[in-house]
Amino acid sequence: MIPALGLVFGIVAGVLLQPEVPLWLQPYLPIAVIAALDAVFGAVRAVLDGIFNDKVFVISFLSNVVVAAFIVFLGDQLGVGSQLSTGVVVVLGVRIFSNVASIRRHLFNA
């Protein structure tokens, strides 16, 4: 429940505050958001499985965002930023859909 509330709170705060993202950070923000969503959906799945741990969630959330942003940064430095960004999106997308499928099975027994 805590991850879902955090997600809702973050979305509402973003819509109301409309923060400006610096130009140098803009290429990394979409990847960081996808990495954060992966951690949130993983946390929801862990809650439904009865194995949620708040410390694991916080560490997973922060490390996912940092590692994904670092991979994109490294790709930019090597001149292959778009390819590595695509790879990160694919990998995290597969994880997100896997977690959503598990959540669906828990909620709807299907």
Helix axes 29-49, 54-78, angle to 10 degrees: 150
Sequence-ordered list of residues with C-beta below 8 angstroms from that of 40, at least 6 positions apart, any chain: 3, 4, 6, 7, 61
Q: Are 60 and 76 in contact (CB under 8 A)?
A: no
Interval 54-76: pLDDT, tens? 999 999 999 999 999 899 999 98
Q: Are 69 and 31 in contact (CB under 8 A)?
A: yes
pTM, rounded to two decimals: 0.80
Interval 76-98: pLDDT, tens? 899 887 888 898 999 999 999 99
Q: How far is the C-alpha of 89 from the C-alpha of 87, rounded, in Å?
A: 5
